């Protein structure tokens, strides 16, 4: 079996399980791509979908896609306030040094791996097959705060009676904290 040249981009917290999932996804896309005979295409695995692009730019291990392809790949649409998807808008620098948008020969390109890095989204690239796999976007993960269990603690109320967090079990609780330091 031929050894693959893989390049990964990931936030520091990416675990081994996600890394294995990304590599398995690339292996599956590579098999599908080789069976279809699509050698000149860039394949992008994102949000459970496979997108094949005839035009993509790879610069120093980074992926740039045509702006019209951004929404098709990620569901994000570029607006003046940033890249938006449903009710989430992420501010994106669109001009100047470090911008995620650039214009080449009258066509706008979007820095997809730079955007993934900004979101803390993991990605991996199979250089030999030109397959890019992007993991889950943390900010869009449904229920990432739901179902968490805070440890029980007790504080005195204004009358000096102990109030325990566990006394509010089954109810929504908003905890506000403050520190002078």
Residue 8 has, within 13 A of its CA and on its CB side, a CA count of 17
Which DSSP helix (H) or strand (E) runs through 72?
A: helix 67-74
- Closest alpha carbon to 89 in 139, 141, 134: 139
SS (H, E, C) 52-63: EECCEEEECCEE
Average pLDDT (93-117) is 93
pLDDT at 137: 76
Both structure tokens of 72: 């098709």
Per-domain residue ranges for the chain?
6-140
End-to-end CA distance of the chain, in Å?
A: 58
pLDDT digits (tens, 9 = 90+) for 62-96: 999 999 999 999 999 999 989 998 878 889 999 99
């Amino acid at each position: 079996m031929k050894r693959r040249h893989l390049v990964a981009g990931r936030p520091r917290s990416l675990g081994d399980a996600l890394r294995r999932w990304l590599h398995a996804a690339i292996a599956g896309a590579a098999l599908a791509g080789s069976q279809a005979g699509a050698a000149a295409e860039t394949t992008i695995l994102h949000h459970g979908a496979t997108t094949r692009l005839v035009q993509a730019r790879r610069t120093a291990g980074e992926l740039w896609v045509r702006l019209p392809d951004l929404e098709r790949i990620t569901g994000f649409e570029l607006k003046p306030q940033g890249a938006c998807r449903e009710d989430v808008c992420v501010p994106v620098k669109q001009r100047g040094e470090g911008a995620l948008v650039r214009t080449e020969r009258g066509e706008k390109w979007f820095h997809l791996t730079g955007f993934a890095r900004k979101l803390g989204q993991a990605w991996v690239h199979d250089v030999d097959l030109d397959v890019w796999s992007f993991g889950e976007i943390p900010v869009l993960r449904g229920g990432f705060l739901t179902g968490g269990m805070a440890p029980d603690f007790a504080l005195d109320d204004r009358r000096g009676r102990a109030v325990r967090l566990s006394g509010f079990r089954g109810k929504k609780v908003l905890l506000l904290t403050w520190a002078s330091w």
